[in-house]
Amino acid sequence: MRIRRDRALSALILLPSVVAVGVFVYGFIGWTVYVAMSNWNSFVPDLSFAGLRNFADLFQTPRFQIDLGNTLAFTLTFLAGCLGIGLLLAVLLDRQIRGEAFFRNAFLFPMSISFIVGGTVWQWLLNPSTGVNLLLESAGLGVLKSPWYTEPRIAIYAVVIAALWQMSGFTMAMYLAGLRGISDELREAARVDGASDLQLYRHVIIPLLHPITLSAAIVLGHISLKIFDLVFAMTGSGPAFSTDVPGIFMFETTFRGNRFAEGAAISIIMLVMVAVVIIPYLIYSTRTEAEA
Amino acid sequence: MGRGRPRATRVLLYAVLAFFAAFYLMPVYVLVNNGLKSFREVSLSRMWAPPEQATLEGFGKALRELAPNLRNSVVLVVPAALVSAALGSVNGYVLAKWKFAGADIVFPLLLFGMFIPYQSVLIPLVQFLQWLGGLLPVPLYGSITGLVLVHVVYGIPITTLIFRNYYATVPTEIVEAARIDGAGLVGVYRNVILPLSMPAFVVVMIWQVTQIWNEFLFAVIVTSNPAQQPVQVALRNLAGSQIVEWNVQMAGALLAALPPLLVYVFLGRYFLRGLMAGALKG
């Protein structure tokens, strides 16, 4: 009696959230798919069926092709950078460092700052006539001066630098937590077996960190596939769309150009890219948890 | 340790750490340094030179420009964080301690909501807010109220996740004991779970406050009227403007970053826990 009432009550408690997320996530995505397959490409709503034409048009659009290339280049370099820097810093910090808390916080605090602020600062720092270039010059490293985001061929990597500043602390923190979870006995055992530090890391520690690498890569990967604010604040589309990404293209197409169907199609492609990465991870995470 | 060259390795180790620390702190130096310069003194070629005469003129001007928007952000963040935390708490409790048929499906479906690119819901969101606002005495589209609603709903997945993982660590025996004493679902929550919830509330509030404070896409879409815009949108307008002196832009960027920065400095430990939860690790 009581149990049955409580069971009904538990469903009732979840109901508002389930309905809200059902509408705002699944309902809205459904509606966006519907808009993406319509002819609503002017200020006047026109929801007549267009099939997949908006999608087909997009893949023919040079700007969108550039965007996909930029997203790929950005995601790969950003991921490699975050994982590499994060692992390096975590390994260094794990070696009984004096002032460890200071270094850890210095590496991690940018995570708490908005992409808008980050983008604004890095726009100045990588402005070719000031910022980092001035520093390089006064350090006698003038050869390393760069046009940064003003040169189309490398502009997207200037944005990657800003993104690494913002997010690499995340991988550092995750790896550091992982390293702290590896027992001293295991390290000692490897040393007794005659392993050098390098071998210890290569053959024992880094393999133990693989699950963390996977989680970090998926979280960061999905962030970079949908990146918007940072690029918007720092460079916008950049010269010759060299820093344009689908998030910016969608924003401008939809809310500046009133081409709603096309904007919806861009957003659905973004969603599919993110879903391909996230859904297997969600299933994997909730399954392994259930087994544990 | 008696190794061959420990000294040199230690020096190198600290040198690498110092190099990276300088890299991460460089933007803060630039913001503070140039924010403290007067309009006459601020120049591209002297970005790194300290101000000859430090002045709060830039900060004063930035504060006057951004004050209404800072206020909007506070009015947005406080209720949105509180309501999404409250929802997360009860949801997390039910999901962790009253496993019902279908919970294993509902939970991942909720979680998916925190990973989606929000671009994929923006068009219906605007239409929905316009429609629902029309039925209510308060407008939702174009208002902070609407933005509160948006952040409450899209905050549900992460707050539910953090609370559920936290409540999963509460021993089931305590819950069972309370039930044997006659407490029902609500009684267990009020007498057993809620008093234990403070740490999770701190983590969730800190996470939600910084995330909502920093959020830009929903803010720029939902509030088109400058008087209603949160501070990140106003900063973007300030920083994208050619007429605003850049000492003021620097000062403004620092002001917009300050609340989350203070949260990080004083409560960084809890911030980190929110961060880890986002990677689905409890």
pLDDT in tens, B198-223: 999 999 999 999 999 999 999 999 99
Whole-angstrom distance, CA of residue A125 vs CA of residue A226: 24
Average pLDDT, chain A: 94
Q: Does A191 touch chain B (CB under 8 A)?
A: no
Q: Is the pLDDT of residue B58 over 70?
A: yes
pLDDT for res A279: 95
Note the pLDDT of residue B47: 93
Q: What percent of chain A has pLDDT over 70?
A: 98
Confidence (pLDDT) at A80 = 98
Write down how long chain B is. 282
In this prediction, residues B145-151 reach a mean pLDDT of: 97
| Residue A52 clears pLDDT 70, i.e. is over it | yes
Decide if pLDDT at B281 tops 60: no
Q: A163 or A95: which carries more pLDDT confidence? A: A163
Inter-residue contact B97 to B167 (CB < 8 Å): yes
* Residue-level pLDDT at B1: 44
**What residues does each domain of chain A span?**
66-291
Q: Where are the domains of chain B?
A: 65-278
User: Is there a contact between B76 and B149 (Cβ–Cβ < 8 Å)?
Assistant: no
A194-250 tens-digit pLDDT: 888 889 999 999 999 999 999 999 999 999 999 999 999 999 999 999 999 999 999
Percent of chain B scored above 90 by pLDDT? 77
Mean pLDDT of A250-255: 97
d(C-alpha A161, C-alpha A165), whole Å: 6
Q: Span B172-197, mean pLDDT?
A: 91
User: What residue has token string 């930029």?
Assistant: A70
Burial class (CB in 10 A: 0-12, 13-18, 19+), B78: middle
Could you give the CA distance from residue A201 to residue A179 in angstroms, rounded to a whole number? 10
Give the residue carrying structure tokens 């048929």: B101
Distance in Å, alpha carbon of B15 to nearest chain A alpha carbon: 11
Mean pLDDT of B141-156: 97
Mean pLDDT of B108-120: 96
pLDDT at residue B16 greater than cutoff 90: yes
Q: Which of A63-67, B24-28, B236-240 has the lowest mean pLDDT?
A: B236-240
Whether B239 sits inside 8 A of A233 (CB atoms) is yes
Cβ–Cβ below 8 Å for B123 and A113:
no
In this predicted structure, what is the pLDDT of residue A1?
59
**Bigger pLDDT: B243 vs B51:** B51
Report the DSSP beta bridge partners of residue A38: A49
Q: Does A161 touch chain B if contact means CB atoms closer than 8 Å?
A: no
Look at A174 and B276 and tell me if their CB atoms are within 8 Å: yes
CB B152 within 8 A of CB B84: yes
**Residue type at A135 in one-letter notation:** L
**Which among A178-192, A193-207, B110-124, B178-192 has the top mean pLDDT?**
B110-124
In chain B, what is the straight-line distance between the N-terminal and C-terminal CA atoms, in Å?
A: 37
d(CA A268, CA A55): 9
As a whole number, the mean pLDDT across chain B is 92
Q: Say how far apart CA B191 and CA B187 lie, in whole Å.
A: 6
Which pTM value belongs to this model? 0.94
pLDDT at A288: 73
Identify the H or E element spanning A149: none
Residue A18, min C-alpha distance to chain B (Å): 7
The tokens describing A280, both together, are 């297997």
**Residue entry with tokens 């962030």:** A223
Q: What is the CATH number of domain B65-278?
A: 1.10.3720.10
pLDDT band for position B282 (cuts 50, 70, 90): very low
For residue A189 the two structure tokens come to 């055992």
- Is A50 in the B-facing interface, judged by CB distances under 8 Å? no
Who contacts A149 (Cβ-Cβ below 8 Å, separation ≥6)? A123, A126, A155, A158, A159, A234, A235, A238, A242, A243
pLDDT band at A290 (very low <50, low <70, confident <90, very high): low
Report, as an integer, the average pLDDT of B108-126.
Answer: 97
Residue B141 near chain A (CB below 8 Å): no
The whole-number average pLDDT for the span B54-66 is 95
- Picking from A31, A110, A268, the nearest residue to B24 by CB comes out as A110
Strand partners, A49: A38
Going by pLDDT thresholds of 50, 70 and 90, the confidence category of residue B2 is very low
Q: Which CATH architecture has domain A66-291?
A: Orthogonal Bundle (1.10)
pLDDT computed for residue B133 by the predictor: 94
Query: pLDDT tens digits, residue range A129-148?
Result: 999 999 999 999 999 999 99
Asked whether the predicted pLDDT for residue B7 surpasses 90, the reply is no
Assess A285–B contact: CB distance below 8 Å, yes or no. Answer: yes
The pLDDT of residue B9 is 87
pLDDT value, residue A191: 86
Residues in contact with B28: Cβ distance below 8 Å, sequence separation at least 6, in sequence order: none
